[in-house]
Amino acid sequence: MKKGFEESLKELESIVKQLERGELPLDESIEMFQKGITLSKDLSKMLDDMEKRVSILIEDENGMIKEENFIGAGDDKSGL
């Protein structure tokens, strides 16, 4: 079963805390670091996927509410 965002984030935070303590043997630290990198990539992908699904409501000039797809900062096609 695939982990949810919050569960993956908590796991990544736990890994970071363990690595920051510096108490793990080198081989275990490397293994934890690799797991952390994988979780970080998975979290980034989850955020990208969520961003694509987010919609914002905007009031047009007539006072009507319309739904538009969310455009994140990295999605600007204007080249700016």
Q: What is the pLDDT of residue 24?
A: 94
Q: How far is CA 12 from CA 32, 51, 63, in A?
A: 9, 21, 44
Distance CA 65, CA 60 (A): 6
Q: What is the pLDDT of residue 78?
A: 46
Domain total for the chain? 1
Q: Residue 58: inside a domain, yes or no?
A: yes
Q: Between 74 and 70, whose confidence is greater?
A: 70
pLDDT digits (tens, 9 = 90+) for 21-66: 999 999 999 999 999 999 999 999 999 888 777 666 666 667 776 6
* Residue 24 region by backbone torsions, left for phi larger than 0, else alpha for psi between -120 and 50, else beta: beta
Q: Residue 10: inside a domain, yes or no?
A: yes
Domain extent for 48: 5-75
Q: Residue 53: inside a domain, yes or no?
A: yes
Q: Residue 13: inside a domain, yes or no?
A: yes
* Residue 10 region by backbone torsions, left for phi larger than 0, else alpha for psi between -120 and 50, else beta: alpha
Q: Between 78 and 34, whose confidence is greater?
A: 34
Q: What is the pLDDT of residue 50?
A: 81
Reduce the DSSP state of residue 10 to 3 states and report it: helix
Q: Residue 80: inside a domain, yes or no?
A: no
